Amino acid sequence: MPQVVRLYVVIETVAARHRNSKALLALAVGTFALGAAEFVMMGVLPQSALDMAVSIPDAGHFISAYALGVCVGTLFLVFGRRIMPRTLLVLFAVLIVLGNTMVALSGGYAMMITARFISGLPHGAYFGTAAIVAKELAEPGKEARAVAVTLTGQTIANMLGVPLGTVLGEFMSWRLAFAFLGAWGVLTIVMLVAWVPQVPAIKDTGLAGQFAFLKHPGPWMIVLAVLAGNTGIFCWWSYVSPWLTSTNGFASAAVPALMAVAGLGMVVGALTGGRLSDAWKPGGAAAVGQSASCIGLVLIALSHGPMVLAVLLTFLCACSMFFVNAPQQLLMVEAGEVGDGGGEMLGSALVQIGFNLGNSFGAAIGGVALNMAAMDYRVAAGAGIPFTLAAALLLGAFYRRYERRVRR
């Protein structure tokens, strides 16, 4: 009889792991759509500008509109706290379908701006909710790894989806890329309903209670580190294509392949960051990742080396950029659980707001540096160094204050 019980426990454990793996895959399918929707516009900006009969600077508002939608969409989590997480995820996936389909069908500038804003609405809210579901489904001690798997969809989008979308825009129609993402959103809905179990809604501590965790300095240290770190790395990453061609001598035809290398670095970074967080401490792991970004930018700013060095630095910085995602996301979920709880979704979404604001700030600061330095792209990387250093120091201070003496 004891053997039968043990066999049943083993079978049930294996079955639960299989169910959870499918659930994490479904969550990652959604983050793929969001990651591609955010970044593919950068690759098809000239074609969409021509189609909408606007200048490239005006077309840049298509990117800004998405970022604004990300920030506004966080309100879904503030007022949707009583809704079951899987139901929220399905609603966000519906917005993925609606927004990207509208982009594909846009007939003018105003509709395009509106469509991009709608496309951005589910971004931070989906990531925030998905991180909570992944943590809930994870085996004890493997929470960061589960969050990392969920976020891997975004990194694969950068490795495969963005280059593919750029090719579609170059040789067929940029609209096809967004039509594909609309269809992918339908697939996301089906997989979420079929594979993601209902987990309990977070504790309802009232509207004000969701913000209570922000009274403590720890969460602010994390959010500021996310903002500073992404500002720094995007001073360079926003201009990675001309850096590769103008500074390092690559042909423009080689850029999609190099972006795939960067995407591979993002996948490796996301999974490695999750594993180190589980094995050690998330704050310490995030500090390591931000330190690697800082070192990478220093090397880029000083680099006069061969093409192979540029490829290695592209891989390193892309790796470090997403190395920090899982630990920072997990830290904010855990911060929201402190005290009476109830702030988990808001805390997780704040990471995505910091990420997207950092993207915008980094592009702007890098652009100023380029204009001041006669378009020397190494100077743009140099402009990001102080920000990544500040992020590493903030996370190092967080580790010393909150994690060093705490067993995990």
Same domain, 288 and 378: yes
Same domain, 196 and 230: no
What is the extent of the structural domain holding 209?
Answer: 205-407
Same domain, 108 and 257: no
Same domain, 340 and 363: yes
Instruction: Determine contact, residues 288/235, Cβ cutoff 8 Å.
Output: no
Same domain, 283 and 335: yes
Q: How far is 308 from 312, CA to CA, in rounded Å?
A: 6
**Any domain includes 74:** yes
Same domain, 224 and 293: yes
Q: How far is 175 from 79, CA to CA, in rounded Å?
A: 33
Instruction: Name the residue among 388, 34, 72 with its Cα closest to residue 237.
Output: 388
**Any domain includes 107:** yes
**Any domain includes 389:** yes
**Any domain includes 377:** yes
Quick one: pLDDT at residue 405? 61
- Alpha-helix residue ranges (DSSP H) falling in 324-400: 325-337, 344-372, 377-398
For the record, the structure tokens of 159 come out as: 């490795």
> Of 201, 220, 253, which marks where a domain is finished?
201
> Of 168, 186, 201, which marks where a domain is finished?
201
Q: What is the pLDDT along the chain (408 residues), one digit of tens a residue?
A: 555 445 434 444 444 566 788 999 999 999 999 988 887 877 777 788 888 888 766 777 787 788 888 888 877 877 776 788 899 999 999 999 999 999 999 988 999 999 999 999 998 889 888 888 888 888 887 887 888 888 778 778 777 777 777 777 777 888 988 999 999 999 999 999 999 998 877 776 676 777 888 888 999 999 999 999 999 998 888 778 778 888 888 887 787 788 788 888 988 998 899 889 888 889 999 999 999 999 999 999 998 778 899 999 999 999 999 899 889 988 888 887 776 667 777 787 788 788 878 877 887 888 888 888 888 889 989 999 999 999 999 999 999 988 876 544
Same domain, 256 and 172: no
> Of 201, 217, 233, which marks where a domain is finished?
201
**Any domain includes 352:** yes
**Any domain includes 3:** no
CATH of the domain at 155: 1.20.1250.20
Same domain, 163 and 24: yes
Quick one: pLDDT at residue 20? 82
Same domain, 240 and 313: yes
Same domain, 160 and 218: no
Q: What is the pTM of this model?
A: 0.81
DSSP letters, 139-208, are PTT-HHHHHHHHHHHHHHIIIIIHHHHHHHHHHS-HHHHHHHHHHHHHHHHHHHHHHPPP-PPPP--HHH
**Any domain includes 2:** no
**Any domain includes 323:** yes
CA 118 to chain centre: 18
Same domain, 237 and 112: no
Same domain, 186 and 247: no
Domains held by the chain: number? 2
Within 10 A of 220 (CB to CB), how many other CB atoms are there?
A: 15
